[in-house]
Structures are given as structure tokens and as C-alpha cells.
Amino acid sequence: MTWVLMTAALAGALLAARRLLVVVTVFGPSMEPTLRPGSRLLVLRIRRLRVGRIVVLHPVAGQKVPGGDLLVKRVAALPGDPVPASVLAAVGGRPGDRVPERRVVVLGDAPAASADSRNWGFAAVTDIVGVMAGRLA
């Protein structure tokens, strides 16, 4: 009977971990040198966002994602923060504008190789799958 309870507990723990964690592979050079193509990330399915955190998100409508269906970017501004100057043109903003509620600014670490908020504007907080918890490889 004890092994049945232990097996059930283990199965429950694995199911909970699967709902809370996801493994994502980085495609493309947009996060170099921090993350190289082929890097595997452990992502925690939460939206506790801070500026500087690496997040995984669904692309904006119509965005093509090479090799997968998720983007890996860094949070550059949160709701209420000033819109970074590099993003103003993409959002039709002016200096001093603020990031709207339920929106964030996400940028790749390699600007010349990254399609991000500089190109398509704000990302919806609801499009964020989670935050990077660590690297697997």
C-alpha cells in the first residue's frame, strides 16, 4: 500500500511540475551573447515581471518565428515606465510617454538581429508564457 501512495505522490508532483515548468530552445541570434542559438531554457510559467528578466512569449499577430512558436526576449519596460526611446517610433509615441497597462516592452540583446518592440511595439502581458528560471544547456 505504501508504494501505491508513493507512486501517486510522485505522479502528482510530476504533473504539477509539468504545469509549472516548460523547456524552451532558443532559435536565432537575437539574444546573443547572453543566449546562443540551441540554448535550452527552463521556464517558470509565472508572470512576475521585472525589468531585465528574460521572458518567453507568444509572438504578436502575424510575426513569424523561426524554428518554433515562442520568442525569447528581455523585459525593458513595464506598465507605467517611460517608453524607451528606441521603441517610440514603433508605438507612435513621444518622449515622456508611458507603457500602457497590461503591456510591456521586450527587446533582444542583439539589436541588429532581433525583431522585438523596436519593430512591433508593445507586447501584451497575457502573451508572456513565463520567465527564465535557468539554462539546461
Enumerate the β-bridge partners of residue 56: 72, 130
Which residues 6+ apart lie within 8 Å of 20 measured at CB? 44, 45
Whether the Cβ atoms of residue 22 and residue 115 lie closer than 8 Å to each other: no
Q: Which of 64, 16, 67 is nearest to 44 (CA)?
A: 16
Query: Cα(130)–Cα(75) distance, rounded to whole angstroms?
Result: 12
Whether the Cβ atoms of residue 135 and residue 120 lie closer than 8 Å to each other: no
3.50.50.60, 2.60.40.680, 2.10.109.10, 2.40.50.180: which CATH number matches 21-135? 2.10.109.10
Tell me the mean pLDDT per 10 residues along the chain, length 137.
Answer: 58 57 92 94 92 93 72 96 94 93 96 91 94 90
Query: Cα(78)–Cα(134) distance, rounded to whole angstroms?
Result: 22
Query: Cα(102)–Cα(119) distance, rounded to whole angstroms?
Result: 19
Residue 69 has a pLDDT of 84
Q: Which DSSP letter does residue 67 get?
A: T
Please indicate, yes or no, whether the overall pTM of this predicted structure exceeds 0.85. no
Residue 17 has a pLDDT of 56
Please state the domain extents for the chain.
21-135
